[in-house]
Homo-oligomer: A and B are copies of this chain.
Amino acid sequence: MKEKTIDYLLRSAWLGVTKMYNEEAGKKGSTMATGFALISIEPEGGTPSTSLGPRMGIEATSLSRTLKTMEEKGLIIRKPNPLDGRGVLIHLTPFGKEMREYSKQVVIRFDEAVKETVSEEDLDTFKKVTNSILELINSKKIYISDKIS
């Protein structure tokens, strides 16, 4: 059996987490992306949309669609930002706050479950490697197709 490539491992693990998170969120009529957003929104006071994208690691355009869905589902309310006519402030509704707690627990439980399975040392190494991969990609030092005929 051929050795699995790094991309394959990352992808499998992430697809697995995705499936699991969506299942858990689905039990409460929510979704994974909504859960991530909920967690990133401050429970009290309006959270500027601008800070959310970077915090979640997604593009503003991806976030925008998620927020729209969330507002339609009654989880948040988008209010104009009085300090910047272009921006919006995200406020959690009571329902949003409730779902935020649930989403947080799902993430925490998963994190704990992994920590019970792997040693702290191995986990640190795992974090180090994923960060290296990210840096590698962001550094744009991989000019892959330039090296290919």
Q: How many copies does the complex hold?
A: 2
Residues of chain B within 8 A (CB-CB) of A5 are: 107, 110-111
> CB of A95 within 8 A of chain B?
no
Residue of B nearest to A109 (CB): B144
Residues of chain B within 8 A (CB-CB) of A58 are: 15
Residues of chain B within 8 A (CB-CB) of A117 are: 132-133, 135-136
Residues of chain B within 8 A (CB-CB) of A111 are: 5-7
Chain A contact surface mostly: helix
* Assembly CA distance A128 to B107 (angstroms): 21
* Assembly CA distance A77 to B118 (angstroms): 44
Q: Which of A20-28, A43-51, A68-76, A81-89 contacts B (4 or more CB under 8 A)?
A: A20-28
How many residues of A are in contact with the other chain, CB < 8 A?
55
Residues of chain B within 8 A (CB-CB) of A7 are: 17, 21, 107, 110-111
* Assembly CA distance A21 to B6 (angstroms): 13
